[in-house]
Chains A and B, each alone.
Chain A
Amino acid sequence: GENVEQHPSTLSVQEGDSAVIKCTYSDSASNYFPWYKQELGKRPQLIIDIRSNVGEKKDQRIAVTLNKTAKHFSLHITETQPEDSAVYFCAASRGLGNTGNQFYFGTGTSLTVIP
């Protein structure tokens, strides 16, 4: 099955700096890679995703890059703000994220943005 690894497990940055979280996956058939933000005690919320036919995607301060050959993808948050503090999970899935395909999650990164 799929194995998703995520680094770092914890990350502290000063407000305004950038944060980068990296994930690798093992299943070359995985083709959909979402990122979730989970605040303490709450459900994960999708923040951005990328499909294997795209190398980079950006949404305001958040961007994701994908290297299919190396089987790794990264989340980039620029101009970090205290409200960005949360646990971030990457995930991998087959089937372009369609209904019947499960996600395999990374181990999570606890991001702290220091005011």
Chain B
Amino acid sequence: GAVVSQHPSWVICKSGTSVKIECRSLDFQATTMFWYRQFPKQSLMLMATSNEGSKATYEQGVEKDKFLINHASLTLSTLTVTSAHPEDSSFYICSARPPGTRKSIGGYTFGSGTRLTVV
């Protein structure tokens, strides 16, 4: 089945540094990918919608300059957490939907997630 690959699976960084997270659709093209953040024991919060070849759409309250999203190709979207701080520590996860998936199946596939710890 369709696979969304996300890297790295975990990262520890120093406060003030930037971290890039990659989300790749391995066997399909994704014009749209979604980025979520999940705090421990909490729900998945949509951060932004990544659109290939255009600017990302951010949800209310998400800082565009802090969470830079680039969707330069049909198979790759990146999320860069700039000037990371301890409060940015979270589980970040992307998702995409392979085109042509039967409409009877939702078909959104999630990446394996990235656990970011800022120290």
User: Which residues of A does B touch, CB under 8 Å?
Assistant: 1, 6, 32, 34, 42-46, 49, 89, 96-100, 102-108, 110
Contact = CB atoms under 8 A, between A and B. Distances in A.
Q: Which 3 A-B pairs have the closest CB atoms?
A: A43-B110, A49-B106, A34-B106
Contacts of B49: 100, 102
Interface of B: 30-32, 34, 36, 41-46, 49, 59-60, 93, 95, 97, 99, 103, 105-108, 110-113
A82 to B, nearest CB: 20
Contact of A99 (B31, B44, B93, B110): B31
Given A97-B97, A98-B97, A105-B45, A42 B112 contact: yes
Contacts of B41: 108, 110
19 contacts: A1-B59, A42-B112, A43-B93, A46-B106, A49-B105, A49-B106, A89-B44, A99-B30, A99-B31, A100-B31, A100-B32, A103-B34, A103-B46, A103-B108, A104-B46, A105-B36, A105-B45, A107-B43, A108-B43
